[in-house]
Structure 1
Amino acid sequence: MQRLFTIVTHHSIPPILLALIVGFVSLVLWAPWWIWGFVLLGVPAQMLNEYTLHRFVFHLAPPQKQWAFNLLYEAHYGHHDFPTNTKLFFAPVWVSVPMMVINFAIVWAVASFVVPAHAVMIATAVVLVGGVATFLGYEWFHMTAHVNCSKSWLARHVTKLHNQHHFRDFSKWFHVSPGGHVIDRVMGTAIDTNALKQQQRIEFIRTLGLRPDDPRLVAARQHYADRFDLSEKDLQQAARA
């Protein structure tokens, strides 16, 4: 129940959940039966989208401009900096909602060339139902990987790989959703157990290679201290980590 409360009370989850409900109801009311097959297409599409966003956007080189650094800190750097802070578990709404809208527009545009009469319903099936459901699953498993709770075999497997990303090598294991490790292996960002045993832990791993007292990090922590409930002790410990 605690995990359920944590996820549904985060500001980015209700609009995404609403989109899923609207999409599902739309398919029930107006879509022909064969449109439901496109829901399955949304699963791998969203998993690939998650990997791409995490690897190539959330792990961008740290910007020099403080405003840009702050955005990246809120989107992802802060989660690495404070990996147990529940307010930093989930993608901010200004990331998740625009990405959903962009994905919907792309699928609708492609479908318009093939089956224009059903383009909206196809985009609804792929993005608002299959994609959003997969995204919510990602957010659930990501949260579960970071909390101390009873976990299924699948959740323990996800946690093991995600812990390697956070605490051993942040350039590996970008995926969190079950089955996403296949994408990491194909893309060359997996690391096997034997290689991990021989690899040194990356320096300043919680700050993605930046010195913990980097002025940009210090400024970003101060900027978001109230929003993320960071105490003065938290800020001082982070700067010395």
Structure 2
Amino acid sequence: MTSIDLNADLGEGFGRWTLTDDERLLSVVTSANVACGFHAGDAVTMQRVCELAAGRGVRVGAQVSYRDLAGFGRRAMDVPPAELAAEVAYQIGALEVFARAAGTRVSYVKPHGALYNRVVHDQEQAEAVVAGVRLAGAALPVLGLPGSRLLERAAEAGLPAVTEAFADRAYTDGGTLVPRGRDGAVVTDAEAVVERSLGLAHTGQVVSHTGAPVAVRARSLCLHGDTPGAVELARRVRERLTASGVRVEAFA
């Protein structure tokens, strides 16, 4: 039987402002990418999501990013490698405090937004992220795009490299994500997202924005929590995966 992890970006609120329906999404996903305060999230939000995740048996992951609250971590930034490594470790450490207090732990690390896309090709920034994970003191799995510099550097450093796919994002012919600023970068048709999820789980393929088949073999499938109808869409995806013989379970 094929198995796959379902992950979602959670805890992306700040103060009185909320974005994702964390409680309901945690009843569907198996891994939670928790914002650690740099692109979104704050201490209270991190604590609450960790408690909810622990109560549901959902794995907690540190979603690390550039320090960019105003731009939601989606603006390109040039951060010196040593500084980026320290900031990655800082974010992991902050989340670990709340995870342990909730009776769980940080089980993996995933970059967010501009940092996620940067470390696909930028070796220096990828090495800095890996250095930050190691600085945090644990051999945590790193979640990223197949073929990325990040996963290559993680594997070289002895960290488990976990491949990820996106059912609701458009792909280029080269297997990278179409930038969000372009038309069609986000797949909004619910049935299309479901069908893409099934294809990724069963065949390891997705259709690119030009209509070409692209190999994307992934252990984890990301469903964005900030899209309209995210909870119901996530439920549909999980139900259809299970009905097709796919075992939905956390990778970590």
TM bracket, shorter-chain basis: under 0.3
Q: Would you tell me which structure has more helix in proportion to its own residues?
A: 1
TM-score, structure 2 as length reference: 0.24
Q: Higher strand proportion, which one? A: 2
Q: Scaled by the length of structure 1, what TM-score is found?
A: 0.25
